[in-house]
Structure 1
Amino acid sequence: MTARDVVFPPHRRALYERNRYSPAIRSNGFLFVSGQVGSRENGSPEPDLEQQVRLAFDHLNATLAAAGCTFEDVIDVTVFMVDPASNFERIWRVVPDYWGQAPHPTLTAVGVTWLYGFQFEIKVIAKLPEAAGQS
């Protein structure tokens, strides 16, 4: 097996090393990004739901940028929400600020009962810019 080509966003390496996972891995022209949550600098959840969603997108965008990508390179999104019946509308008010223009990436939304104290998590697959000309 070849070594994983790990991408670390600025100022978050200790968090990933403490929790023993890679924030993102480049492979075969794609970037696979681990779930991003709205954590504060110390790793604790931001209590305000809408701000938590904004922080999750900020962390996602920092990870994408570390690999030379933007959200425009994202082709597949999976979001996890605790209590989506109550939280979906509040979460989706924030999403357009980060989502960009159509055509939008594919989306799978999953309702969950637990996210380690968080209410929202987003993971994506993006096409790396150097691979963008390949289909």
Structure 2
Amino acid sequence: MLNEKKKIQALHMPWEKEYGYAQAVQHKNTVWVSGQLGHDDNGQLLSGMENQMRQTYANIGKLLKGFDLKPDDVVEEVIYVTDMASAFEARKIVGYEFYPDPMRIASTIVVVGGLALPGQLIEIKTVARR
């Protein structure tokens, strides 16, 4: 039985149903956004770390908007990357584009050996609160 208190969001990518998960879930005043990646509306990954990171944040923004939230409502993010040096440099730029004040976000960045899709360089999961 579906918990009536939960609300969900999707981006309508084929892997949502195939893998079986929600892109984002709201329960009470908290929203958990599943790991997002740098794909466009057609599911195609952009090239390069900075482009993928910028698109990843854009996808997070779409999901937050579906719950009437904005980037400033994010309280935590975990960033998974395949290359720390390029991710760290990209985050210096893109973090300031996405967040009104990145200094108000608890952030962790972790290097991993691989991610879900071939060519995927980054994945970001977030938690937001009203």
Q: TM-score, normalised by structure 2?
A: 0.83
After superposition, residues 105-120 of structure 1 pair within 5 angstroms as: 105-116=105-116, 117=118, 118-120=120-122
Whether the 8 Å CA contact 2:53–2:90 is kept in 1: the answer is no
Q: In structure 1, list runs of 5 or more residues that go unmatched.
A: 129-135
Contact 1:80/1:110 (8 A) holds in 2: yes
**Counterpart secondary structure, 2:109:** strand
Identical-pair percentage:
24
Offset of 1:127 from its aligned partner? Answer: 0.6
Partners of 2:50 and 2:87 within 8 A in 1: no
When the two structures are aligned, how many residues end up with a matched partner? 126
- Tell me the secondary structure at the aligned position of residue 69 of structure 1: coil
On the 8 A contact 1:7/1:66 being kept in 2, the answer is no
Report the alpha carbon displacement of residue 52 of structure 1 after superposing the two structures with TM.
1.0
Asked if structure 2 preserves the Cα contact closer than 8 Å seen for 1:83 and 1:113, the reply is: no
SS at match of 1:68: coil
Partner of 1:28: 28
Counterpart CA distance in 1 for 2:113 and 2:92 is 19
User: What stretches of structure 2 of length at least 5 have no aligned partner?
Assistant: none
Cα deviation code 1:1-25 (max 9, x no counterpart): 752724225xx22432233110111
Please report the RMSD computed on the Cα atoms of aligned residues, expressed in angstroms: 2.1
| Conserved 8 A contact 1:8-1:63 | yes
Q: CA deviation at 1:86?
A: 4.3
Residues 75-86 of structure 1 mapped to structure 2, 5 A cutoff: 75-86=75-86
Question: Counterpart of 1:131?
Answer: none
Q: Deviations over 1:9-60 (max 9, x none)?
A: 5xx2243223311011112320011011001333232113211111101100
Distance 1:91 1:75, change over 3 A: closer
Give the conservation status (yes or no) of the 8 Å contact 1:37–1:53.
yes
The TM-score with structure 1 as length reference comes to 0.81
